[in-house]
Amino acid sequence: MLIVVIIALSVFVTSTLSGVFGMAGGLILLAVLLALMPVATAIAVQGAIQIVANGSRAWFSREHIDWPILGTICTGLVAAAIVLFILRYKPDLASVCIAIGLMPILVWIPKDWLALDASKPLHGFLCGLLGGGLNLAVGVSGPTVDVFFIRTMMDRRRVIATKAATQVVSHAAKVVFYGGLADAVVSSDWIFVLVAAPFAIAGTNLGYHILQRMSDAGFRHWTRWVVTAIGAFYLVRGVTLVAGG
């Protein structure tokens, strides 16, 4: 019961956070689940919960979704899934933490150095390939996907809506990928998903209303710092795991 309460509260808080910034919540939720479950199971369960959270966020702002961009990103995601499936990839905790911890570096790269724009077809495909691949490999890809959106001419509502729709597809692929592993998901773990679903929707709804009060400049500024702080936590944990053997 204590684990259920912890997960429910975590889902509400992280869904609210993602409702505001379009990411970050999934990073924190995965950290909680990794402390409670095996790596592959945590990634699969987090993916299922994130489908609900991102799905509700996409629904609340569905009129702002850019469907052509979403389609291009999905082609890259399919390519990444095929590669990982052929390699029969399986995650380990230290590698997952270090990879996630290094992701925030991307949001600090000057625009002139890496001018990526998800609205451009090639860049959209790379967004799906890299972001989708990382989501499958380590469970999250928010900062990687964000670097393709934060520098576009899209306003915050269109960014949040399109990223949410992208993440629904990406998390669904992740659930299928890890759900197919015989030892990855225990049926009882899916109870957590059912319990978490209404909290995910409630948190997303709250985050959506907070977003409407935020300026585009504030949105971009705080996104960087929030993601960087979370990434630092993951990096320290990953290095600690490696140092500890």
Structure-token pair, residue 21: 């910034």
- Residue 224's Cβ-count burial label (10 Å; 0-12, 13-18, 19+) is middle
Residue 185 has pLDDT above 70, yes or no: no
Residue 22 has pLDDT above 80, yes or no: no
Alpha carbon 167 to its chain's center: 7
**Pair 147, 106: CB distance under 8 Å:** yes
Q: In the structure, what pLDDT confidence band is assigned to residue 122 with cuts at 50, 70 and 90? A: very high
pLDDT tens digits along 23-39: 677 788 888 888 888 88
Looking at residue 67, its pLDDT comes to: 94
Q: What is the mean pLDDT of residues 175-189?
A: 60
Looking at residue 78, its pLDDT comes to: 94
pLDDT tens digits along 86-99: 988 888 899 889 98
pLDDT tens digits along 42-75: 888 888 888 887 888 788 888 999 999 999 999 9
Looking at residue 69, its pLDDT comes to: 93
At a CB cut-off of 8 Å and minimum separation 6, what does 91 contact?
39, 40, 43, 137, 138, 139
